[in-house]
Structure 1
Amino acid sequence: MNKAIAFVLGVSFMWPVAYAQELSSIAKYPKADKNENRNVIWLEKIDHEENYKVEIIATKQGMTDCNTRSYHTDLKKKDLKGWGYDYFVVGKADQVISTLMGCLDNKKTLADIPVVLPAGESIQRYNSRLPIVVYAPKDIQIKYKIWKADKIVPAVISNE
């Protein structure tokens, strides 16, 4: 039984390494600047990719209390010249926006604070053939969420 558990754990830890390709095998993406990270999102090949979307999510660690907090920044889509591929650049997120409730316990904790990105650029089509490459400042963590359309519902026609 221990061998079976070790095998399952070994396979689950090896999967991301085996799945991820070298980015240089796809195209010559620029290296990250010293104050930023290059984040690469490799998507698994699935059936009916047209029914899926990928949302790029950004967070930044900071101290928070009972108030709701967020940062806002831009997400620019850039063209990888000569290749026809895109990549994204997240702007700096220095100004925190917060509600101003009085917190009774005045307790502060370290938490991931959302960095709000423009919806028009943060949601991308699902494409397992090309990675999504996102350059972000080192203090911003990039994550992603997969969205699936379960069914397509027709609109109601009203010619009144």
Structure 2
Amino acid sequence: MIRRFGETPEKGRTYTRRPGVYALLPQGKDLLVTWYDDGQNPELQLPGGGIDPGESPITALHREVFEETGWLIAAPRRIGAFRRFTYMPEYDLWAEKICMIYSARPVRPKGPPREEFHEALWMDTAVAVQMLGNEGDRHFATRHLNRL
């Protein structure tokens, strides 16, 4: 059983299962995070996103982190998972997100984020824990902070 964070699923609503991968990218006391702002739903996020059909989770993790931060990563290690039920306005979709969380080492930037509305930020982990946009991301960032 995967732990659920966030809202309880609504009875009668159909949710599409969306597996995804997300990364804690620490460097010292800081985390590399992404600020998403489409003008309507601004949110601080762990870099990551959906796994494309036929794509492995590790390949998706490298792709998503690069698209959202412009950084290359190394040594990804899965540290847990959670699920949450949410509406995804960018896809007009009610989703059951299966979020696999990895810890990885940020290696180097190759340029700005390639995904629209994303900005890569280095942030003190303690501040990120307070500002991350969903409870599951905050849970894993807090676990990381408690190990510092």
Please report the TM-score for the alignment, with normalisation by the length of structure 1.
0.25
Please report the TM-score for the alignment, with normalisation by the length of structure 2.
0.26
Structure having the larger proportion of residues in strand: 2
**Max Rg structure:** 1
Structure having the larger proportion of residues in helix: 2
